[in-house]
């Protein structure tokens, strides 16, 4: 019997290689997405999204996004997504997956229309099952 996946495609955007491995395995174990793409460089994830505009099957339904990354942080990534709102589906769920304890970060996420929800690292099967 084939596995039932919640989503076809999910993106993990996190500069931490080990976190990406762990989170990918959790997403696979919970059958969260048929395919999981990881990006350690947020700009590469943005480029990927821009290049998939005419290929809707390659646009993720879900993005897990870290906040604290070099080059551009999660907030700058969210701003880039907002600028692409006319070409990307508004239905993309963006979960902020961060170890940040800064209450200002959480407040900023709550007030950001592109962010769906803040999840404290690490991602667990229990958290996935609640999404």
Across residues 112-124, what is the average pLDDT? 93
C-alpha dihedral sign at 82, 41, 12, 61: positive
Across residues 80-101, what is the average pLDDT? 89
Comparing 6-20, 63-77, 86-100, which segment has the lowest mean pLDDT?
A: 86-100
The kind and range of the H/E element at 7 are strand 7-13
Q: Does the pTM of the predicted model rise above 0.85?
A: yes
Task: Give the C-alpha separation, 20 to 24, whole Å.
Answer: 6
Confidence band (pLDDT; 50, 70, 90) for 19?
very high
Closest CA to 128 of 47, 25, 56, 16: 25
Closest CA to 104 of 121, 90, 118: 118
pLDDT tens sequence across 31-41: 999 999 999 99
Spans of all domains in the chain: 7-96+114-130
Q: Which CATH architecture has domain 7-96+114-130?
A: 3-Layer(aba) Sandwich (3.40)
Unique residue bearing structure tokens 């919640």: 6
pLDDT, residue 2, reads 57
């Amino acid at each position: 019997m084939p596995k039932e996946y919640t989503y076809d495609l999910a993106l993990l955007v996190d500069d931490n290689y080990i976190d990406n491995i762990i989170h990918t395995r959790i997403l696979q174990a919970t059958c969260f997405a048929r395919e999981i793409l990881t990006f350690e460089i947020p700009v590469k994830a943005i480029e990927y999204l821009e290049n998939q505009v005419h290929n809707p099957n390659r646009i993720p339904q879900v993005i897990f996004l870290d906040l604290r990354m070099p080059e551009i942080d999660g907030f700058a990534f969210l701003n880039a997504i907002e600028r692409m709102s006319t070409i990307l589906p508004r239905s993309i769920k963006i979960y902020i997956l961060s170890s940040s304890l800064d209450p200002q970060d959480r407040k900023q996420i709550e007030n950001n229309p592109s962010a769906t929800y803040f999840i404290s690292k690490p991602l667990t099967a229990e958290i996935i099952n609640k999404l």
